[in-house]
Amino acid sequence: MTKLPLLLPLLSPRAASPSRALTPPPARLLAVAAAGASVQDAVMSAAATGDYPCPVSPPYPAVSKDVELRRALTASARSGAYSSAAVVFEDEWLAVVDKPAGVYCEALLSALPCSTASSGDPSSKPNLHLANRLDRDTSGLMVITKCNKVAAKLVKAFTEHKVKKTYLALCIGYPPAWEKIKICSGHGRSKHGAWRVYAMSDVGRTLPGGSSVRDMSTKFEVLGTDGEGQYREPSNVDIDDIESITVQEKAADQTSNVDVKNHMIFVRAYPQSGRTHQIRLHCQYLGFPIRGDVKYGGVIEWNGVDCDGHALHAESLSFVHPVTGLPVTFRAPLPSWASEIISTMG
């Protein structure tokens, strides 16, 4: 009996409805829910039901090391020259800024043109803290607090997942059969030191090096494929009936030689937890790594142009203001790659 990586659908009213059929890539076979299915049975079942590709995990490809080094050097130069953060909102307690891609988070602290200190005295210097962080090449919203008390409250809100976030991503890979989905998995470091997707059953297990596997979940919705689709505002994924899949086995620790179907998939992600590289990992696992994300299987070149970073954007943040107690929502301006995609859609 052949053992295959398994993504087990948790049936919901939406999941039980017929879905568009997909033909899975030969080296990315999916196991069917029934135990003991053969490889041929798995192929036939996946093609008939539109199950999900199951790509491989780290180690990182060797070529990514050179690309990452070049990007890091470029980002260091950009960060050193970064002098004026784009402020989306600011009051005397915090500021929300739009971080550009290719700039380190810490550069925003010195580049924030704070107009008012938390004490109300314009001559005093606020004590700035990063309430959240974004990867170097991820653009979008970050919150900077101006005093320790506000920082503690907001960091706690992010840690306890009380801050609702949405991200936009442009992915290249195998087109999904679903419109909306929730993926639940484990999260931890592999023996190579790279972050990876683990099975949910591994959550709590101690890994080599002393860390442990933690849970992570992300909800996705497809906005367009190959330029066809319609851009829409974020939906209330808390009440939508949405199909769920649970990772039953960690991704294979190897590199695939199979050509991936290079479709362009524009997605919105709703992370339900805040693990390192969470959206990037889940996109890779679902068969459509983010464009330019060389660590997790993304293409380095697309349509004849080299990618200088990955196409991931922190689109919105919603939380309760730590001082006023009022609910607030902030949206970041779209990056150029997202505007170009949306302009081609209906």
Tokens 């090449």 found at: 137
Note if 91 is an active site residue: no
Residues ≥6 apart with Cβ < 8 Å to 308: 71, 74, 102, 292
Of 154, 184, 141, nearest to 275 (Cα)? 184
281: part of which helix (H) or strand (E)? helix 278-285
The phi and psi torsions of 256 (rounded to 5 degrees) equal: -85, 140
CA distance 299 to 306: 9
Of 113, 112, 103, nearest to 80 (Cα)? 103
Please report the sign of the dihedral spanned by the C-alpha atoms of residue 259, residue 261, residue 264, residue 267: negative
27: part of which helix (H) or strand (E)? none
Of the listed 135, 137, 202, 293, which one is catalytic? 135
Residues ≥6 apart with Cβ < 8 Å to 252: 5, 56, 57
The phi and psi torsions of 34 (rounded to 5 degrees) equal: -70, 130
Of 78, 72, 146, nearest to 112 (Cα)? 146
Burial class of residue 209, CB neighbours in 10 A (0-12, 13-18, 19+): exposed
Residue 51, token pair as written in the block: 């199950």
Residues with a catalytic annotation lie at: 135
